[in-house]
Structure 1
Amino acid sequence: MDQDTKEIDEEQFKKEFEEKVEKRKQWLLEELKSCGKFLDVSAKKLDDLDALTIALFLHECQTELTVFHIGANQITDRGLIDMLTGLQWHDKLKEIYIGNNEITEVGVQGLIEISSCFKQLKILSMSACSIDDSTFIQLCFALPELKNLQLLQVPGNNISDYGLVCFSTLLATNCLPNLTVIHFGNNPLTSKSLVPFFQAMKKNKTIKILYLNDIGMELTTIKQLALCLKKNKTLEDLNLGNTGFSDSAASVLWPSLKYLKKLQLWNNHLTDKAIYDFINVLEKEDIGLTYVGLQDNEIEEYDLVEDLNALLKQNEIIDKLTEQIEHKEEMEEVDEDKQVKQMIELAKLEEIEEKLGQLEKLNEPQGETQDVANELQGKLKTKKWTGENEDPEDKTLEHSVME
């Protein structure tokens, strides 16, 4: 009896489980269909079974997807590889987010193998995917084919010095012409790779935002960063949060911030001395910085921070006024160009009108001459037929010729 009851319970459990699976499958399919071109199922607590449903949808979907967001779920390598079989046919993709799942370098390698399909890709985000140096170097070989890539996020992985040196080579040779944002935060990087990376960044003219937070930096590394910032006029936003940044590092970096606009230094070891020194530098040097994040440092005199923020605010106001003036000048140049074009078109129109007038004048005398000629011919014909004013000598001459 107990055995029969156990079998009934198992069948009932299996039936209920299948019903739940089918119900969730239908729910997920409705979610996917409502996404249109932007497939975003981030933070939906999806697992590999759900990933299989997504894979089937990708195979059958007739819409060309431009966004593929599956981040912050419980999908593993198996689920990602199932989805990649259908994802490779959507070659118009511009954004791929797969981070914060249970994906490892195995799944990432699968994505790298089909990455050449996505020629229009602009954003590639793979946070916390257990990417090691070997996998990242494979990615570095594939990246030059993604000519439109603008943002690369690989924080929280296992990328160390070998991987970053390989990536620095791409920057130095300008193989990533449209890349503007890099996020390397919370990777086990040291001065062995950071120093050549900053050397490659000196002449870079594309990277505007750089995340290097949660990476321990020695003073020798900060010195190379300072040299980089003196040369690089493109980088605008730099994150050095939780890097062990100290007062001695600050004294090296402060005078080098001529072109940088935003600097994050949260959760470091800065004291009042560093802030006081920075205020002096701002008052004496031509520094373009407009914001510094100083949360969770060892600062006690917050009046100094307020004075610092006031100076940075002045820089921000100056920047905005400069942008407004430049924009106004650009608009004025556009208006001047329009005026010049209008003047040229008006001059051409006047020239055409003048030439038409000349043609009309030339046509008028020709018409009068023709009328006079016709009138004379008419008179001559009349005289010939009527015989008026005939000259006798002409008749005699005509008679002799006939004889």
Structure 2
Amino acid sequence: MDQNEKEIDEEQFKKEFEEKVEKRKIWLMEELKSCGKFLDVSAKKLDDLDALTIALYLHECQTELTLFHIAANSITDRGFIDMLTGLQWHDKLKEIYIGNNQISEIGVQGFVEISSSFKQLKILSMSACSIDDTTFISLCYALPELKNLQQLQVPGNNISDFGLICFSSLLAANCLPNLTVLHFGNNPLTSKSLVPFFQAFKKNKTIKILYMNDIGMDLQTIRQMAQCLKKNKILEELNLGNTGFSDSAAQILWPNLKYLRTLHLWNNHLTDKAIFEFINVLERQELSLTYLGLQDNAIEEVDLIEDLNALLKQNELIEQLTEQIENNGKEENEKKSIQEMVDNTKLEEIEEKLEELDKLSTQQVMDEEEEVNELQGKLKTKKQPQEE
């Protein structure tokens, strides 16, 4: 192949590549325009070139976006930072999902710098973004400004003890007043931060769902968790899957599950002994638990699982009956309130009618007085000529 043929091939390749890029850009732009307020391009195999198209769209878009999902693509820090220049102007966003890309602490730090723009944000999901302690601590400083935040998801990152301790201080001070879902799973945490975390969690007033799966937990952590769960009436669901949870840990935790409703313990080291002990606890104490996930544990006796599920089902039925009674009570109260409103409205109507009648009576008296005065005036006029 001579030099001229090589240059022609390179030009042809460049031309075909540019055509493909342009077609991709047109396709993605159409996708974005069809999203309306809900920009969702998750799992579309997008890269940094596509990120430039998204950045351009964010600058030109006149629609007030409420949702921004770009999760599960191949976008790197470079592409993500390009998007941030346009994303910061969409201050009505309620959901941001950026996880499972190739974004690292550089891109996350860029997001932290503009995060104060999103005052209405309710869900922030940043799973598998290589977030380290330094970056997460920067995020912790920014989180209190997000007053409406309800869900924070940071699983699969590099957040270790320093990062969790910093977050625990926010929790203890109730700096996130609307947070209901917290996902910390699969981060390299130890008892150095987990114990202070569960100490702070005793003051929890909002979080109903907590994911701490894929984190190794020793008995010291389990003891602190048990003390927390014994008093915490807010938490409803706890995920402890793949945490090394053993029969010894179960013996500590079982008697303290007073208010929890859902507990996930999949892929742990529980045996028949732990299940037998929990059945005894369920029969002796009034617990609120209605679901216990035990997949992939070393449990051999199927009958024990059946007996356990029967007791949990009984708890579920009791819970449903209690809710029904409460709802009926609420309906009765609502009916009473409505009747009172109707009665009050009737009284107001009666009072208005009485006022109208009073006005009519007053007007009638005034009219009669005017008629009498007119008649008296006419009589005086007639008498005067006769006297002359």
- The interval holding the TM-score normalised by the smaller chain is over 0.9
Sequence identity percentage: 72
Is 1:26–2:63 an aligned residue pair?
Answer: no
Q: Which shifted more, 41-50 or 181-190?
A: 41-50
Q: Secondary structure at the match of 1:108?
A: helix
Count matched residues.
Answer: 388
What letter is aligned with 1:117? Answer: S
* TM-score of the two chains, using structure 1 as the length reference: 0.92
Give structure 2 stretches of 5+ with no counterpart. none
The letter of the residue matching 1:27 is W
Question: Paired residue for 2:298?
Answer: 298
CA drift of 1:363 comes to: 5.3
Residue identity opposite 2:143 in structure 1: L
The structural deviation recorded for 1:378 is 4.9
Report the residue type matching 1:166 in the other structure: C
1:154-213 per-residue CA deviation (whole Å, 9 max, x = no partner) reads 101110110000000001111101111110000011111111111111121110100000
Q: CA deviation at 1:27?
A: 1.3
Q: Is the 8 A contact 2:126 2:155 kept in 1?
A: yes
Which residue matches 1:72? Answer: 72
Residues 2-401 of structure 1: pairs in structure 2 closer than 5 A: 2-361=2-361, 375=375, 378-379=378-379, 381-387=381-387
- Aligned AA (1:85): T
Shift of 1:315: 1.2
Q: Report Cα offsets for 1:197-242 as digits up to 9, x if no partner.
A: 1111112111010000000111111111011111111100100000
Q: Partner of 2:182: helix, strand, or coil? A: strand
> How far apart in 2 are the matches of 1:154 and 1:200?
19
Counterparts of 1:81 and 1:364, CA distance in 2:
81
Q: Whole-Å Cα distance in 1 between the matches of residues 327 and 383 of structure 2?
A: 85
Q: Deviations over 1:90-130 (max 9, x none)?
A: 11111111111111111110111111111111111111111
Mark the CA change 1:185 to 1:366 in structure 2 (over 3 Å): closer, same or farther. closer
1:319, distance to aligned residue in structure 2 (A): 1.4
Return the alpha-carbon distance in structure 1 between the equivalents of residues 2 and 373 of structure 2.
133
**What is the CA–CA distance in structure 1 between the aligned matches of 2:308 and 2:39, rounded to whole Å?**
44
Distance (whole Å) between structure 1 residues aligned to residue 21 and residue 368 of structure 2: 100
Map of 1:391 onto structure 2: none
For the Cα contact (< 8 Å) 1:203–1:231, is it kept in 2? no
Q: Aligned pair in 2 of structure 1 residues 7, 382: CA closer, same or farther (>3 Å)?
A: closer
User: Distance between the aligned counterparts of 1:217 and 1:44, measured in 2?
Assistant: 37
Shift of 1:353: 2.7
**CA displacement at 1:336 relative to structure 2:** 1.1
Ranges in structure 1 where 5+ consecutive residues have no aligned partner: 389-403
Q: 1:379 to 1:13 in 2, by over 3 A?
A: closer
Shift of 1:6: 2.2
- Residues 353 and 216 of structure 1: CA distance in aligned 2, closer, same or farther (over 3 Å): same
Query: What amino acid does structure 2 have at the position aligned with 1:26?
Result: I
**What amino acid is the match of 1:322?**
T
Q: For residue 329 of structure 1, what is the amino acid of its counterpart?
A: G
Alignment CA distance shift 1:347-1:9 (3 Å): same
- Structure 1, 294-303 or 356-365: larger mean CA deviation: 356-365
CA distance in 1: counterparts of 2:380 and 2:83, whole angstroms: 102
Contact 2:171 2:203 in 1 (8 A): no
Note closer, same or farther for the CA distance 1:106–1:376 as it changes in structure 2 (3 Å cut).
Answer: closer
- Counterpart secondary structure, 1:68: strand
Partners in 2 of 1:374 and 1:58 — Cα distance? 82
